[in-house]
Structure 1
Amino acid sequence: MARRRQNLAEALIEATSKFPWWAGVVLAIAAYLWLNGIAIGEVKVVAQPGRMGELISQNLFRTLASVGQYLLPFAFLVGAAMSAYGRYQRRALHEQVAASLDRGALNNMSWQQFEALVGEAFRRKGYAVTETGGGGADGGIDLVLKKEDETFLVQCKQWRALKVGVSTVRELYGVMAAQGATGGFVVTSGEFSDDARAFAVGRNIELLDDKALHALIRGVRVSGEAASAALASSPACPLCQSTMVKRTAKRGANSGNVFWGCPQYPACKGTRPA
């Protein structure tokens, strides 16, 4: 089904809702001060032959500013409210799943809720998370993670009794190469085929099935429990017990080799052989 075309106000609200709530408030204040200054400003063009067009343009701009000084901040504030409410919903969903022993709960939520849950889990692991909104349950890259100067891409696959095949992992690897991402994650409420797991080896791609996702969620909720915090497919850092990520050496005698590195680098320099 084709997506309904948005008007300007709807587009502004949706865009603002993806920012932190306070960013929408700042934009609302800045927009009001700017437009209000225009609305109450004096017309600088004198009504005289040859300059009537400029006078009309300035008056029209002031009229638009008079209306826009209320409408534009309102749109930003609505987006800020949606952002704050969305943050509340993600936290509540995370706590609900973390407290539940039923892995089937992952299949009972919508794909939007599933992506929000995964994003919240990574956010609590110290990543800056951008929800790109792939456009559907299988709409490409769903989350972009940032930590330090590294970028990780996440593809979410949530469906009942889903087995993710190798084509999905190949697709993610291609996007990683095109965007220069350090690594990637494919997260599912189901499981992965043997071909998918084999393809991910050595390519800085982590495959998180329902068990690994529950370990991630329950681990980040209960601080200090390293065994629960570690992903099923990733070892713990020997120094700080953080869940390690695969990296590729870029210099030295081991250049090009894959190894497990601590996500807290450079604060922690723990490594393990891959």
Structure 2
Amino acid sequence: MKFKMSENSLFAVLLRSPWWISFVLVAVIALVSRALLPKEYFVFGALGGFPIFVVGCIAAWRQLRAPSKAKVSQMLDSVQGMHWNAFSQALTHAWVAQGYDVNVASKGVVDLRLAKDGKTFLVSARRWKAATHGVEPLRELYTAMQTQDAQGAIYIAAQGSVSENAALFARDHGITLLQGPALAALLLG
């Protein structure tokens, strides 16, 4: 079972921040505990920073494993030169490496079907090179989600801009927009 935390919780913000910020916060908690608490209670106050220390370790691990900006840029340039078959094979390979069963969809807006742990996700990727991404393909993907009883969907936009209405529609209807560095990170896996 996967735990989902609020985007704006302290831990979520720290996970997105540079790793060292968590460690500075732990040091501040320890210093404040030392200054404000009696000696016999200092350790208990300082231990209050332990969960933040753990989050800092997780953030450091993620950031050390993340691809460099140069690799991300190189991958995105490579994606722009790919033909559909090569791109869909790269996506398939990346998701199989993450433990998904991947099936090619035969028609419509859905290009790939991902399955893992009893959940199905639909992927729309054919418009990955489009200059602009509006709401209409997302509506079609959402309709496919409903008719195929999928738990989620992924819309890939390697380049171009996603309109504000499209981004809001995706957010409100459980569709993940996979673009830019996130797409490169998936493919670099």
Q: Alpha carbons of 1:166 and 1:128: their partners in 2 closer, same or farther (altered >3 Å)?
A: same
Q: Report how many residues are paired.
A: 118
1:129 aligns with 2:102: yes
Distance (Å, rounded) in 2 between the aligned partners of 1:142 and 1:159: 11
Deviation at 1:99, TM superposition (A): 5.6
1:162 to 116, 124, 131: 131
Q: Which has the larger radius of gyration?
A: 1
* Aligned twin of 1:215: 185
Partner residue in 2 for 1:54: none
1:131-210, aligned counterparts within 5 Å?
A: 131-134=104-107, 139-158=108-127, 160=129, 162-190=131-159, 191-210=161-180
CA deviation digits over 1:197-225, x for unaligned, max 9?
Answer: 1001132210011322012223x2xxxxx
Partner SS state of residue 172, structure 2:
coil
- 1:37-116 to structure 2, matched below 5 A, reads 101-102=73-74, 103-116=76-89
- Structure 1 runs of 4+ with >3 Å offset: 98-101, 157-161
Structure 1 residues 152 and 133: CA distance shift in structure 2, 3 A: same
CA distance in 2, matches of 1:212, 1:172: 20
Gaps of 5+ in 1: 1-97, 221-274
Q: What is the CA–CA distance in structure 1 between the aligned matches of 2:129 and 2:149, rounded to whole Å?
A: 32
Provide the C-alpha distance between the structure 2 equivalents of 1:133 and 1:108, rounded to a whole number of angstroms: 24
**What SS is found at the alignment partner of 1:201?**
helix
Superposition CA RMSD, Å: 2.1
Residues 1:162 and 1:118: Cα distance change in structure 2 (over 3 Å): farther
Distance 1:119 1:128 in 2: 9
After superposition, the C-alpha distances for 1:139-190 in whole angstroms (9 at most, x for unaligned) are 5211000001111100003454522111011110000001110000001221
C-alpha contact 1:142 1:154 (8 A) present in aligned 2: yes
Q: Take 1:202 and 1:100, find their aligned partners in 2: how far apart are those partners?
A: 28
Matched to 2:180, the amino acid is D
CA contact (8 A) 1:107 1:158 kept: no
CA distance in 1, matches of 2:115, 2:121: 6
Quick check: which one's helix share is greater?
A: 2
The TM-score with structure 1 as length reference comes to 0.40
